[in-house]
């Protein structure tokens, strides 16, 4: 049953925190940078609102989740889209089981109230109008206002915020007053070969090392040509090849299906970066 809190005589139902099997196996300094931005070094200090920037699939959400969990905090994920409205970010009226209206808090507001960590995923897909509703939360005021419910919601002292943003063309430019509130900017680049191998092993514990080595070689070659393929693509390539080998049931090893897997996941042109099995 959803947890309910009463604020200014208004009942608000909170979202549940997200429990995901995510573990960061990349650069430890990125975890340290994120943790530092959330610190309070004095009673007069406030935590910062970092922005994780990188290409899709490099592990931005995993990093945010792992950093929050390392601090023992509950994590609340909110997926931003071009259709995200201000009320979606704060409180939405919904029909209750009895047919009346009740107020449902967003993941961000639920984190605010409980002292959790809010991860706004792909935040630069969101319009300026939606960002404007979060402006007072992202400075020293640390509150939001719900026009729908007619209440002001203040953040718990333990509340922390982080936004992830894709470095691609299918996004909005941030307004300057939001840009200055989302600091520091933490850049996540493609992993080194040993890091990619560790990530692949974590996600594919059932895969042979030979397959993973071929996939890492492919990814590193693609990175060298500034192609957008990420370790997420590598996981999908290896996974599909393993599934095709199991489906064929002819004794052919999964490695013989890797080129087909590349074609089906990232496109035929990408095969030029793949070493011959």
pLDDT digits (tens, 9 = 90+) for 29-58: 999 999 999 999 999 999 999 999 998 888
254-276 confidence digits (pLDDT tens):
889 999 999 999 999 998 998 87
Structure tokens at 208: 């042979």
Query: What's the mean pLDDT when you consider all of the chain?
Result: 92
Local confidence band at 1 (pLDDT 50, 70, 90 cut-offs): low
Q: What is the pLDDT, as a whole number, of residue 169?
A: 61
Integer CA distances (angstroms), 165 to 172, 226, 231, 245, 246, in order: 10, 19, 17, 36, 37
- Model pTM above 0.85: yes
Q: Minimal CA–CA distance to 224: which of 179, 197, 192? A: 192
């Amino acid at each position: 049953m959803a947890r309910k809190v009463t604020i200014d005589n208004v009942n608000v139902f909170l979202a549940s925190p997200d429990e995901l099997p995510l573990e960061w196996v990349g650069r430890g300094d990125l975890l340290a940078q994120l943790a530092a931005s959330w610190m309070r070094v004095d009673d007069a200090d406030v935590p910062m609102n970092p922005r994780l920037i990188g290409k899709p699939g490099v592990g931005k959400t995993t990093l945010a989740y792992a950093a929050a969990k390392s601090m023992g905090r509950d994590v609340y994920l909110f997926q931003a889209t071009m259709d995200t409205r201000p009320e979606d970010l704060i409180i939405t009226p919904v029909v209750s089981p009895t047919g009346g209206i009740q107020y449902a808090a967003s993941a961000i507001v639920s984190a605010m109230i409980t002292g959790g960590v809010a991860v706004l995923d792909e935040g630069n897909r969101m319009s300026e109008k939606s960002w404007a509703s979060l402006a007072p939360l992202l400075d020293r005021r640390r509150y939001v206002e719900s026009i729908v419910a007619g209440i002001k919601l203040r953040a718990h002292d333990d509340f922390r915020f982080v936004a992830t943003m894709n470095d691609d063309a299918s996004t909005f430019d941030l307004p300057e007053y939001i840009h200055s509130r989302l600091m520091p900017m933490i850049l996540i680049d493609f992993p080194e070969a040993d890091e990619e191998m560790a990530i692949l092993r974590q996600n594919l514990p059932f895969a042979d090392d030979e397959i993973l080595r071929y996939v890492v070689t492919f990814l590193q070659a693609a990175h060298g040509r500034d192609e957008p393929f990420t370790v997420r693509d590598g996981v999908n390539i290896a996974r599909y090849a393993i599934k095709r080998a199991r489906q064929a049931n002819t004794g052919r090893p999964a490695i013989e299906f890797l080129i087909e897997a590349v074609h089906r996941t990232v496109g035929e042109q990408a095969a030029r970066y793949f070493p011959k099995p």
